[in-house]
Amino acid sequence: MSEDEINNRLSRRLGGDAGDDQDESDDAPSEENAMNAENDVRVRNPWDAERVKSAWNGMTFYLPDAMKDRLDTEYQRLTYECDFEFLKDRHLKPLVIEHGLDAVSEMDPDDVHSALADLEREYSTEV
C-alpha cells in the first residue's frame, strides 16, 4: 500500500485531510527554517551518514525483556555471520522495522488483533 493510499485511508477514517496539521506557511521559507537548514546535519542519502545518531531521527520504544533478548541474540548472530560490518542502529533496527512494517501493512484489523494475541501469549510470563 502506497503512502498516498494510507494517507487517503486515514483521512477518510478520521474525517479530515491527513495533512491538515501541516502549517500552510511551509511553502514559504521562514527565517527560522533557513537557520535550521544551515544547521541541519542530515545527508541526502541517509545510508551515507557518518553517524546515524546525529543524522537520523531518534526514537524510543519499549519491549518486553524476552523480545529485547531475542533482538539482541539476532544481532549477535548476524554480527558473527555477516562478512561485512553489521551495526545494530544502522542495520538491524531499520531492517527489523522495515520488514515488520511490510508485514503489518498487509494486515486487516482481525489479523492485527490475532497477531497481538499471539505476541501476548508468546511473551507473557507467569508470576
Q: What's the pLDDT tens digit per position in 48-96? A: 878 888 888 888 889 999 999 999 999 999 999 999 999 998 899 999 9
DSSP 19-41: TTTS-GGGGSPPHHHHHHHHH--
What is the rounded average pLDDT of the residues 22-38?
A: 48
Contact between residue 117 and residue 107 where contact means Cβ atoms under 8 Å apart: no
Residue 101 has pLDDT above 90, yes or no: yes
Q: 46: closest CA among 54, 36, 37?
A: 54
Contact between residue 49 and residue 56 where contact means Cβ atoms under 8 Å apart: yes
Lowest mean pLDDT among 1-5, 13-17, 58-62: 13-17
Residue 23 has pLDDT above 70, yes or no: no
pTM, to two decimals:
0.59
> What confidence tier does 15 reach under pLDDT thresholds 50, 70, 90?
low
